[in-house]
Structure formats: structure tokens, C-alpha cells
Amino acid sequence: MCRSIKTLRPPALSEEATEEEIRAAALQYVRKVSGFRAPAAHNREVFDRAVDAIAEATAGLLDGLEVRGAGAATAEARRAG
């Protein structure tokens, strides 16, 4: 996996991951999988859709994770957030 993608859940991050951090990870993933740092104009739309879909899936994953040892208060705070 791409080494520049960092773990976005506690305790790796002291706070909830931001939208920017989630999108940056999604962009790195799509770049790695596609082999393109920046897509050609004819691939831009599909590239951007993939980044959006992966960012959305990542946010859903992080929202749904229950990290044991991180404390129930952290999970509750995220849900209430």
C-alpha cells in the first residue's frame, strides 16, 4: 500500500480525521491504483469520481469503527458530533 497514506483513526490521530485528511488519503490511493499522479483530461472525470467515492467510503468506515481501548467516550463523541 502507499506509504504516504496515514492511519486516520484513534489512537493514531488524537482527534477525528478531517475531510481534508480523508480526501488526501483517497487521492493517494487512486493515484497508486491508477498509476497516474495526475490524470489526462480524458480521464479526469473518472479519476475525480473515484477519489470522491473512496473518500465517502473512508468517512463511513471511520464513523462506524469502534476502537477498543480508545474509550467509549471517543466513539460517543464522534456519533454525537
Q: Please report the pLDDT score of residue 55 as a whole number.
A: 98
Q: Where are the domains of the chain?
A: 18-61
pLDDT tens string for the chain (81 positions)?
A: 456 788 898 788 878 899 999 999 999 999 999 999 999 999 999 999 999 999 999 999 999 988 887 555 555 555 665
Q: Please report the pLDDT score of residue 72 as a whole number.
A: 52
Dihedral sign, CA of 66, 3, 27, 36?
negative
How many helices and strands, by DSSP H and E, does the chain display? 3, 0
Q: Please report the pLDDT score of residue 5 as a whole number.
A: 80
Q: Please report the pLDDT score of residue 4 as a whole number.
A: 72
